[in-house]
Amino acid sequence: MKTIYKIAKSELNMLFCSPIAWLILVIFIFQVSMDYANILTEELKAKATGYSLMDETASIFSGFRGLYSRIQGYLYLYIPLLTMGIMSREFSTGSIKLLFSSPITNKQIVLGKFYALMVYAFLLLGGLLLIALFSCIIVKSIDFPLVLSGLLGLYLLTCAYIAIGLFMSSLTSYQVVAAMGTLAILAVLNFIGGVGQEIALVRDITYWLSISGRSREMINGLICSEDVLYFLIVIALFVVLTILRLRFNRKKGSQALRVGWYTFVVGSAMFLGYLSSRPVFMCYYDTTAMKSRTLTSNSQAVMEKMDGGLTITTYVNLLDDNYWDALPRNVNNDFKRFKQYVRFKPEIKMKYVYYYDKTDNPSLDKRFPDLTDKERAQEIAKGIRMNFDRLLSPEKIREQIDLSSEGNHFVRVIERENGQRTFLRIFNDMSKHPSETEITAALKRLVQNSPKVAFLTGHEERDIYRGGDGDYSTFTMSQSFRYSLINQGFDTESISLAKGNTIPDNIDILVIADPQERLTEWEINEVNRYIASGRHLLITTKPGRQTILNEVTEPLGVHFQDGIIVQQSEDFAPDLVLGHFTPEAERFSGTFAYLNRNNFRVTAPGTAAILFRPQQGFQVFPLVVTDSMGCWIEKETTDFVNELPEFHPKAGEEEWNLQPIVLAMRRQIAGKDQRIMIFGNADCLSNGELARSRKDIKSANFNLILETFRWFTNGEYPVNTSRSYGPDDDIRMEYKDIIWVKIGFMGILPLLLVGAGIIVWIRRREK
């Protein structure tokens, strides 16, 4: 070990006597400081213009635009300049023969030089440590473990680059060739991840070999054994290869012996790498303060209940627009969407089935108007260089599974070992793929019974299957809408009470959605029986049909007033009520508090007034109310397009400011915690209103629906995967002070390094 230490010390002395080492330090520190100053400038500019700061540690250091991510993008340019002479200099000057003739082993030579470069790498990243320490001063409650995790990732990446450069330097006596060779190897390791992706075995091998993005998880705060072992294996591989290179230079051996040793070393590294990439052998440590790189507690609770095997089968229809995301070349990227779940259940298996079948895709009719489905699939397969024989025909896929209920669109089937299965869809929005909320909701179906929601039919109620503007299919049954009940873990159906039918005992939530005809005596009695059982109820109505539901609501102490609520407005029709969330609503749900702070409104065109007189032990909470002024119950005007209503008290019209349009009721009955929601507006939940946007109005209707059903299920559904923001929500400096940061890090620090380099050079000349 003493010999290795002496070699390392000697190599460090030579490094710092070279202008290249100092030049690399100065340029690197300047570039890093410039990036840091730019990031800090943007954050302080946002603060100065009134924007709220949040998760500042991640904003500055990690993420796509963070400091560490930027450094990762250009770090590889510096290392070849550093390592190009580390071994090739010995060969070009002939000093390698002196080393070979001395009582020093090949291992000691290589390790001594590598340790020297490791120390230099530590100093190279020392500027980052200074920036981190400075950030501890200016960032409130900085998440320092996250900062250190990113530093570890960058240091391991640098050491891996150094090991590769060390090996390439041992192959030639020309320093420029060594530098170019190092860059070539780094380029290969960066791009090899996209090679051979069509073949499963090759895909696994090239995925492991790829160095691209290997430190990204550590930069973002998650230390995974796979990434750490990757760097250690790569470092060990190239260090050992360098030792072998010196050994065969020092003592000639047969070609077969050389090939055998090199094959053994590379094969061993590949084998260890393959084992380290198996989920069952992986370990994780989330360094972030808020555990943002880990599943939320609700998702973890679901995974704990998931015993036995679990298979996620992705069915990819080549005639669907979304086939690209799960092609064989994209399988590894697709796997990352479930990696957090694999962490808690390593035995999850991912399968992919490719087929073609008719689906709703108008673009195909334009692109291939005269071709059959099979011919279209053949053309697409040819275009993406996919073997058409790999695709199942419509007849073959239907033998495996019937996907007609999903429209033959891109869909996943999650299946437990016991045969339970459920669908996991993608959605027609910007994100497209399911988030943790939707994935956990689908998995939750497999470990516990989903809440059942029944919509009453038979009286021209809002329909949950039709797509008309007034219907309710968007938030209930839409497969392509992320926030629909079926995609949030609910089972949804319609029921009729005609011909003496009863409400099934397994129904948890009954919805009576704006019936246009009176309920029969049998139906009213059946609804009353349901209410008396302590189960949940949602009622919606609109002006002109209040009396139909009063027979149901009056026993509860709720009465719908005649007339329609109007609200004075310069921009919108007077029958459009812009509802505000109440203080009770803010206590009811943190989401409502956030929406109120950010001026969201419940848009309610055509609203009936609600009177309530609590009865039978009910607690009543007005959730959404009218504006504080300019609202009344209009009883004369009916044409709000051509007429402007006026307030006439003599006509029985009443001021209706800060009065409820959405009411929550709760009581204990039949041993249950019963919850009832009353909406004076049925259209605020409709397809048309959910899709509508109005100038300068931020609608909270989606959120109102989700929070209503979350309340019904006592927070169980939709699954809450929200995360709290960390305490690092401020930077203790002003925008005008950024100049001092630039002077310090971009000016003084590089100049100090230049000065240190000059002093070392002068002292060396004096000696």
Specify if 585 maps to a domain: yes
660 with 577, same domain: the answer is yes
**CATH, residue 607:** 3.40.50.880
Q: Nearest to residue 575, comparing CAs of 642, 478, 663?
A: 642
Strands (E), 103-244: 222-224
| Residue 432 shares a structural domain with residue 555 | no
For residues 79 and 168, membership in a common domain is answered with yes
Residue 767: the pLDDT is 64
**Phi, psi for 762 (deg, rounded to 5):** -65, -45
Give the span between the Cα atoms of 497 and 597, in whole angstroms.
43
- Say what the pLDDT of residue 14 is: 83
Residue 728 forms part of a structural domain: no
Please check whether residue 730 lies inside any domain of the structure.
no
What is the DSSP pairing of strand 310-317 with strand 576-581? unpaired
Does residue 456 share a domain with residue 440?
Answer: no
Q: What is the C-alpha to C-alpha distance for residues 326 and 332, in angstroms, rounded to an integer? A: 9
pLDDT of residue 303: 95
- Residue 325 sits in a domain whose CATH number is 3.40.30
**Structural domain contains residue 722:** no
96 and 171 in contact (C-beta within 8 Å)?
Answer: no
How many independent structural domains does the chain possess?
A: 3
Contact between 412 and 423 under an 8 Å Cβ cutoff? The reply is: yes
- For the stretch 551-600, pLDDT in tens is 999 999 999 988 898 888 888 888 899 999 999 999 888 889 999 888 99
- Class of residue 571 by CB neighbours under 10 A (exposed 0-12, middle 13-18, buried 19+): exposed
Distance separating the N- and C-terminal Cα atoms of the chain: 29
At 485 the pLDDT is 96
**pLDDT < 70 stretches in the chain:** 253, 767
Same domain, 619 and 580: yes
> Is 588 part of a structural domain of the chain?
yes
Domain boundary among the residues 414, 444, 474 is at 444
Tell me, yes or no, whether 351 and 415 share the same domain.
Answer: yes
Asked if 367 and 308 sit in the same domain, the reply is yes
Three-state secondary structure of 25-39 = HHHHHHHHHHHHHHH
pLDDT at 604: 92
Q: Does one domain contain both 675 and 528?
A: yes
Q: Are residues 67 and 200 in the same domain?
A: yes
Which of 412, 444, 476 is the last residue in one of the domains? 444
- Same-domain pairing of 572 and 429: no
Asked if residue 312 and residue 273 are part of one domain, the reply reads: no
Residue 683 lies in a domain: yes
**251 and 160 within one domain:** yes
Task: Among 419, 444, 469, identify where a domain stops.
Answer: 444
Flag whether 464 is in a domain: yes
In a domain, 306, yes or no: yes
Q: How confident is the model over 343-367, as pLDDT tens digits?
A: 999 999 999 999 999 999 888 888 8
What DSSP character marks residue 519?
A: P
Among residues 324, 333, 432, 326, which one has the least CA distance to residue 383? Answer: 324
Q: Domain range holding 699?
A: 452-712
Q: State the chain's maximal CA–CA distance in angstroms.
A: 115
